[in-house]
């Protein structure tokens, strides 16, 4: 149930309409906030020290690009491994392990002395980052389910805020004359301390952690039962057995019309159909995530250069393009939960992608800097809420493989984040950069048409 009433406080309990939020769920929410923030801070610590690390190791720009791809590949491996591991051991255990891992391995690039040691350090750091991405989002799904209202986007906003804070801290440390090793060591020790504080407040990996199970967070089984209630199959003992009810089918005594053997065959067929539907849903969610992250990556990496080349502005003016995009994306993620609660996740994704497509159109057509900056701001705001809704939907598909399903969506989506900038770069060899932005424009329009995939 999503309340339309303001939040009230009563002792250690938050009351939202008819839903009571216990203190441990509020602590769990704060802990997941901390995990997302830590992820952003430590990633930013590596990014802001790239120039110093390349000078220390002597790697060229081309070698660095290969090493960054290696880090991304390791992150993909971490994502794929983290899903099944979280399903087996629980997302709380995986968050603890992955957050500790990146807190330790963030120091690795600062200690590297050549391309080989830097490659090993980045591979280890990327592996931990990928595992933390999946496990903290799986934990976020548990907390969101406990709150019985959309809160996923706010977690992703904290990642953006953490990255911003990390870049400021890293820049300040460099300005103060701190060495790269000392800065990364302090960041790692802080990360281990934060991890030790947040892990005890995370939720266990059970549905029993949720105080209520609203209709839009029900499992696939519940959705199937709702649709099946309109035909004779709703009374099938096979379906009833999956819902935890008992009737004559629980007995080993034969029944007229086939008895136990027919019921078993019917159950196996139903389970096979459910697995097929879940696989299709995961693939569809992954495709939409791929497109949204492709558009996000293209905007983040090419916005400044597009403004400089298309409008012939200064580097300072061009930098405003990325600033407009990232600022509105962060703001959008902070407000996306309330918007989703008001209009629903499908409408949020549909209208958001339409706004992003309009933003790309403005960027392509605009001859003036202020209008172009407005276009990039529209892109950031439009893309802000889509990916969190996709991950939330993936984590609420039901069954015992929720984290595995999420890791598959993550992997497909992350490929889009990598492919977006590269695709635009390849296209600039034959057409102008501004014209190449028609690709994310068209793809975001396609996402608007496919927004129903986030329905729950």
Residue 72 token pair: 């991304």
Pairing of strands 7-10, 13-16: antiparallel
The predicted pLDDT at position 422 comes to 81
Task: State yes or no: pLDDT of 148 exceeds 70.
Answer: yes
Question: Which CA distances in Å does 349 have to 288, 337, 380, 447?
Answer: 10, 12, 13, 8
The predicted pLDDT at position 231 comes to 41
Residue 220 token pair: 């696939």
- Distance between the two ends of the chain, CA-based, in angstroms? 13
The predicted pLDDT at position 183 comes to 94
Structure-model confidence comparison of residues 158 and 270, the more confident one = 158
Q: Report the candidate in 137, 143, 106 with the shortest Cα–Cα distance to residue 29.
A: 143
Q: What is the pLDDT of residues 6-65, one digit of tens each?
A: 443 434 444 444 457 788 999 999 999 999 999 999 998 998 898 889 889 998 877 887
Task: State yes or no: pLDDT of 263 exceeds 70.
Answer: no
Q: Report the candidate in 148, 210, 140 with the shortest Cα–Cα distance to residue 1.
A: 148
DSSP structure string for 126-176: HHHHHHHHHHHHHHHHHHHHHHTS--HHHHHHHHHHHHHHHHHHHHHHHHT
Map tokens 């807190």 to a residue: 103
Q: Report the candidate in 448, 446, 447, 441 with the shortest Cα–Cα distance to residue 363.
A: 441
Q: Which residues contact 173 (CB under 8 A, 6 or more apart)?
A: 182, 183, 186
Please provide the CATH number assigned to the domain covering 7-209. Answer: 1.20.1250.20
Task: State yes or no: pLDDT of 213 exceeds 50.
Answer: no
| Cα distance between residue 336 and residue 345, in whole Å | 9
Structure-model confidence comparison of residues 200 and 51, the more confident one = 200
Residue 20: strand pairing partners: 15
Which of 45-59, 190-204, 215-229, 253-267: highest mean pLDDT?
Answer: 190-204
Structure-model confidence comparison of residues 319 and 365, the more confident one = 365
For 387-399, b/e burial (b = at least 16 CB within 10 A) is bbbbbbbbbbbbe
Model confidence at 350, pLDDT cuts 50, 70, 90, reads very high
The predicted pLDDT at position 87 comes to 86
DSSP structure string for 110-125: HH--SHHHHHHHHHHH
Q: Which residues contact 280 (CB under 8 A, 6 or more apart)?
A: none
Contact 14, 4 (CB under 8 A): no
Percent of the chain with pLDDT over 90: 48
| Cα distance between residue 354 and residue 351, in whole Å | 5
Residue 336 token pair: 């996306």
* Distance from the Cα of residue 408 to its chain's centroid: 12
| Cα distance between residue 294 and residue 446, in whole Å | 13
In terms of phi and psi (left: phi > 0; alpha: psi -120 to 50; beta: otherwise), the region of 5 is: beta
> Mean pLDDT across the stretch 271-300?
85
> Mean pLDDT across the stretch 348-371?
95
| CB atoms closer than 10 angstroms to residue 336 | 27
> Mean pLDDT across the stretch 192-212?
75
| Mean pLDDT score of the chain | 81
Model confidence at 212, pLDDT cuts 50, 70, 90, reads very low
Contact 341, 351 (CB under 8 A): no
Q: What is the pLDDT of residues 71-126, one digit of tens each?
A: 989 999 999 999 899 888 999 999 999 999 999 999 999 999 999 999 999 999 99
Q: What are phi and psi of 273, to 5 degrees?
A: -65, -35
Question: Given CA atoms 363, 369, 371, 376 in this order, what sign does their dihedral have?
Answer: positive
| CB atoms closer than 10 angstroms to residue 403 | 29
Q: What is the pLDDT of residues 391-444, one digit of tens each?
A: 888 888 876 677 788 888 988 988 888 888 888 888 888 999 899 999 999 999
The predicted pLDDT at position 237 comes to 38
The predicted pLDDT at position 308 comes to 87
| Cα distance between residue 244 and residue 264, in whole Å | 15
Question: Given CA atoms 216, 219, 222, 226 in this order, what sign does their dihedral have?
Answer: positive
> Mean pLDDT across the stretch 320-327?
87
Kindly indicate whether the domain formed by 280-454 is annotated with CATH number 3.50.50.60: no
| Cα distance between residue 11 and residue 362, in whole Å | 50
Contact 167, 115 (CB under 8 A): no
Contact 274, 220 (CB under 8 A): yes
Whole-model pTM: value is: 0.74
| CB atoms closer than 10 angstroms to residue 244 | 7
Torsion angle (degrees, nearest 10) of CA 123, 37, 95, 111: 30
Model confidence at 322, pLDDT cuts 50, 70, 90, reads confident
The predicted pLDDT at position 22 comes to 85
Q: Where are the domains of the chain?
A: 7-209, 219-269, 280-454
The predicted pLDDT at position 111 comes to 95
Question: Which CA distances in Å does 339 have to 20, 329, 420?
Answer: 21, 14, 27
The predicted pLDDT at position 429 comes to 86
């Amino acid at each position: 149930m999503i309340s339309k009433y303001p939040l009230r406080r009563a002792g250690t309990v938050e009351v939202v309409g008819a839903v009571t939020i216990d203190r441990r769920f509020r602590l769990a929410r704060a802990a997941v906030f901390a995990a997302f923030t830590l992820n952003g801070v430590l990633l930013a610590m590596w990014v802001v020290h790239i120039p110093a690390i390349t000078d220390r190791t002597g790697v060229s720009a081309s070698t660095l690009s290969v090493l960054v791809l290696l880090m991304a590949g390791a992150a993909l491996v971490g994502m794929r491994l983290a899903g099944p591991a979280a399903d087996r051991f629980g997302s709380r255990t995986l968050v603890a392990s992955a957050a500790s891992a990146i807190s330790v391995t963030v120091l690795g690039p600062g200690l590297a002395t050549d391309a080989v040691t830097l490659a090993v350090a980045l591979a280890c750091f990327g592996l931990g980052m990928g595992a933390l991405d999946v496990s903290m989002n799986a934990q976020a799904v548990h907390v969101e389910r406990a709150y019985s209202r959309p809160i996923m986007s706010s977690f992703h906003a904290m990642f953006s805020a953490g990255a911003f804070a990390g870049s400021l801290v890293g820049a300040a440390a460099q300005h103060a004359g701190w060495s790269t090793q000392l800065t990364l060591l302090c960041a790692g020790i802080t990360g281990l301390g934060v991890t030790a504080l947040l892990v005890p407040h995370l939720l266990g990996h059970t549905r029993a952690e949720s105080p209520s199970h609203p209709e839009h967070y029900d499992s696939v089984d519940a959705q199937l039962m709702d649709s099946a209630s309109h035909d004779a199959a709703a009374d099938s003992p096979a379906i009833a057995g999956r819902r935890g009810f008992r009737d004559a089918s629980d007995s080993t005594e034969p029944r007229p019309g086939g008895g136990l053997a027919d019921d078993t065959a019917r159950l196996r067929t139903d389970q096979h159909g459910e697995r097929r539907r879940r696989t299709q849903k995961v693939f569809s969610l992954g495709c939409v995530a791929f497109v949204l992250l492709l558009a996000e990556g293209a905007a983040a990496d090419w916005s400044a250069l597009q403004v400089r080349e298309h409008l012939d502005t200064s580097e300072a003016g061009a930098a405003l393009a990325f600033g407009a995009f990232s600022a509105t994306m962060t703001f959008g993620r902070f407000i996306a939960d309330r918007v989703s609660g008001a209009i629903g996740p499908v409408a949020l994704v549909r209208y958001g992608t339409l706004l992003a497509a309009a933003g790309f159109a403005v960027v392509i057509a605009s001859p003036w800097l202020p209008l172009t900056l407005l276009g990039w701001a529209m892109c950031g705001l439009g893309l802000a809420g889509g990916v969190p809704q996709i991950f939330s939907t993936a984590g609420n598909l039901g069954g015992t493989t929720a984290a595995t399903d999420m890791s598959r969506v993550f992997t497909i989506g992350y490929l889009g984040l990598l492919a977006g900038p590269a695709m635009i770069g390849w296209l600039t060899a034959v057409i102008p950069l501004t014209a190449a932005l028609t690709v994310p424009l068209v793809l975001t329009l396609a996402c608007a048409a496919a927004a129903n995939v986030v329905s729950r």
